[in-house]
């Protein structure tokens, strides 16, 4: 039976104090994979101690890669990288394992791994990855069970079919270890893509166009490097909204405002007070009357899809009718069912668009964590709800947020982590960031919400994905 980890939260406590944003998971994983491109040691600082990092290190151990991880510093030496098939049991846990394609192909001339797992946020095909690597000279021998690429790759011109973060990163990783020059058009420009580019430059690659949608990479023999992973702008947004929702006063260190331009624009429209102090610390005050607004997620520098659920929670406390439009994934509104149980007034218009009418008081209930970011949204809902909220399946949250209960307790939150339980599933396990359907409810999750009926099951449609 699967393990169940839970958070028990008592709400309506203003959060006050100071918190430091940790390293970005979405930047760390591709930077770890970049270390496979050289026989020399690569040192990464500011690495978050979260489940996904340890999962990738398990794969590294299987491949014969030496590593040590202590006090947020990770040292990797792939001098004796073993080029062998990576089994399903190792890659099924998270989507980030797809980032092994590019560097292992470049280093070994062949890569074989089972299809990766991870959060199911709608249709997230690997076609963009395969097509791009084939354009660089690889031969595709994949079948329905296994990804298999083989060949000596070389520079070329790649036009990606969409602004895919992981496909952009895979091409960057492969091109950095290939002969010649590679140009990527329709490249993703998210902060974690930029951070990977910076590391590859530190390792000896020449890259131009960083931060744009057109990248040029000159591959070379890569060398050792020491790199500080960028801070997590998604965690920064989470704590900023926690201050807004609880009427608190939080000072957040490690925020890079250029990574959250659209987020702060939304904060302005919302009427949520914040200020950057002289030392760069972000200070967020709660207690203001929040105004309804419209939010559309988009590729960077647009509003982050990974903060959409958190903003949906804020909309329940805003005055008027808010509209949220998810442009990237069709499976990301499952958390609205959980918010309804707590008293939110929600109407689903399509699989990509919903109305949230506020303000409505939220009440503590038993709710589930559908994926990493939806789970973080439920934590925010619990913090501003009356009574006790029990959030199940928080192992998904802990794939992306380091020591979240501890950080919240330091700000005054009443949150307790319960572990070492096993539960018998009556319905499907809550999905990790990626299913085209909303998770089924277990018997424990079936308490009807006050506005249950207006929400309809999302349509199963395809959207551009990352």
Written in H, E and C, the secondary structure of the chain is CCEEEEEEEECCCCCEEEEECCECHHHHHHHHHHHHHCCCEEEEECCCCCHHHHHHHHHHHHCCCEEEEECCEEEEECCCCCCCCECHHHHCCCHHHHHHHHHHHHHHCEEEEECCCCCECCCCCCHHHHHHHHHCCCEECCCCCEEEEECCCECCEEECCCCCHHHHHHHHHHHHCCECEEEEECCCCCHHHHHHHHHHHHCCCEEECCCCCEEEEECCCCCCEEEECCECHHHHHHHHHHHHHHCCEEEEECCCHHHCHHHHHHHHHHCCCEEECCCCCEEEECCCCCECCEEEECCCCCECHHHHHHHHHHHCCCEEEEEEECCCCCCCCCHHHHHHHCCCEEEEEECCEEEEEECCCCECCEEECCCHHHHHHHHHHHHCCECEEEEECCCCHHHCCCCHHHHHHHCCCEEEEEEEEECCCCCCCCCCECCCCCCCCCHHHCCCCCCCCCCCCCCCCCCCCC
**When comparing pLDDT for 242 and 424, which is higher?**
242
| Average pLDDT of the chain to the nearest whole number | 88
381 pLDDT band (50/70/90 cuts)? very high
Whole-number pLDDT of residue 158: 95
Residue % of the chain over a pLDDT of 90? 77
pLDDT of residue 443 exceeding 60, the answer is no
Whole-number pLDDT of residue 144: 80
Residue % of the chain over a pLDDT of 70? 87
Whole-number pLDDT of residue 448: 31
Whole-number pLDDT of residue 210: 98
pLDDT of residue 148 exceeding 60, the answer is yes
427 pLDDT band (50/70/90 cuts)? very low
Superfamily of domain 25-228 in the CATH hierarchy? Enolpyruvate transferase domain (3.65.10.10)
With 0.85 as the threshold, say if the pTM is over it.
yes
The predicted model gives 393-397 an average pLDDT of: 91
pLDDT of residue 426 exceeding 70, the answer is no
Task: Pick the range with the lowest mean pLDDT from 10-19, 128-137, 425-434.
Answer: 425-434
pLDDT of residue 456 exceeding 60, the answer is no
Task: Pick the range with the lowest mean pLDDT from 107-111, 173-177, 419-423.
Answer: 419-423
pLDDT of residue 437 exceeding 90, the answer is no
Whole-number pLDDT of residue 117: 64
Whole-number pLDDT of residue 304: 96
Annotated catalytic residues are: 119
The predicted model gives 243-262 an average pLDDT of: 96
CATH code of the region 3-22+232-445: 3.65.10.10
pLDDT of residue 96 exceeding 80, the answer is yes
Whole-number pLDDT of residue 331: 81
The predicted model gives 301-313 an average pLDDT of: 97
The predicted model gives 124-146 an average pLDDT of: 87
446 pLDDT band (50/70/90 cuts)? very low
Q: Where in the chain is the domain with CATH 3.65.10.10?
A: 3-22+232-445, 25-228
The predicted model gives 108-134 an average pLDDT of: 75
Task: Pick the range with the lowest mean pLDDT from 113-127, 281-295, 377-391, 417-431.
Answer: 417-431
**When comparing pLDDT for 292 and 433, which is higher?**
292
- Rounded Cα distance, 258 and 280, in Å: 12
145 pLDDT band (50/70/90 cuts)? confident
């Amino acid at each position: 039976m699967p393990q169940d980890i839970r958070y028990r939260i008592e709400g309506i406590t203003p959060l006050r104090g100071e918190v430091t944003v940790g390293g970005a998971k979405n930047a760390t994983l591709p930077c770890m994979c970049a270390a496979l491109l050289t026989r020399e040691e690569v040192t990464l600082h500011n690495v978050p101690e979260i489940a996904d990092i340890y999962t990738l290190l398990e794969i590294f151990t299987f491949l014969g890669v030496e590593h040590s991880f202590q006090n947020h510093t990770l040292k990797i030496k792939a001098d004796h990288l073993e080029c062998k098939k990576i089994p399903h049991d190792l890659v099924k846990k998270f989507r980030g394992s797809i980032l092994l394609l590019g560097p292992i192909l470049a280093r070994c001339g062949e890569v074989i791994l089972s299809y990766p797992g991870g959060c199911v946020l709608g249709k997230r095909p690997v076609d963009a990855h395969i097509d791009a690597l084939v354009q660089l000279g690889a031969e595709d021998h994949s079948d329905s069970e296994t990804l298999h690429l083989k060949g000596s790759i070389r520079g070329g011109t790649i036009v990606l079919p969409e602004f895919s973060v992981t496909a952009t990163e895979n091409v960057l990783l492969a091109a950095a270890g290939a002969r010649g020059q590679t140009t990527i058009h329709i490249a993703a420009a998210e902060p974690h893509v930029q951070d990977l580019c910076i590391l590859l430059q530190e390792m000896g690659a020449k890259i131009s166009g960083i931060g744009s949608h057109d990248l040029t990479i000159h591959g070379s023999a890569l060398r050792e490097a020491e790199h500080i992973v960028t801070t997590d702008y998604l965690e920064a947004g989470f704590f900023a909204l926690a201050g807004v929702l609880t009427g608190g006063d939080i000072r957040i260190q490690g925020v890079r405002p250029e990574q959250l331009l659209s987020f702060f624009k939304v904060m302005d429209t919302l009427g949520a007070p914040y200020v950057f102090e002289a030392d760069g610390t972000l200070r967020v005050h709660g207690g203001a009357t929040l105004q309804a607004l419209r939010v559309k997620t988009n590729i960077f520098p647009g509003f982050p899809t990974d903060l959409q659920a958190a903003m949906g929670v804020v909309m329940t406390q805003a005055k008027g009718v808010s509209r949220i439009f998810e442009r990237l994934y069709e499976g990301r509104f499952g958390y609205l069912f959980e918010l309804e149980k707590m008293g939110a007034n929600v109407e689903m218009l399509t699989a990509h668009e919903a109305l949230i009418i506020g303000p409505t008081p939220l009440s503590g209930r038993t709710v589930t964590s559908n994926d990493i970011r939806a789970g973080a949204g439920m934590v925010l809902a619990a913090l501003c709800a009356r009574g006790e909220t029990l959030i199940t399946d928080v192992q998904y949250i802990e794939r992306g947020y380091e020591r979240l209960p501890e950080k919240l307790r330091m700000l005054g939150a009443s949150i307790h982590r319960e572990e070492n339980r096993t539960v018998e599933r009556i319905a499907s396990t809550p999905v990790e960031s990626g299913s085209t359907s909303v998770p089924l409810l277990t018997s424990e999750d079936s308490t009807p919400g006050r506005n249950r009926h207006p929400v309809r099951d999302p349509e199963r449609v395809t959207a551009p994905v990352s």
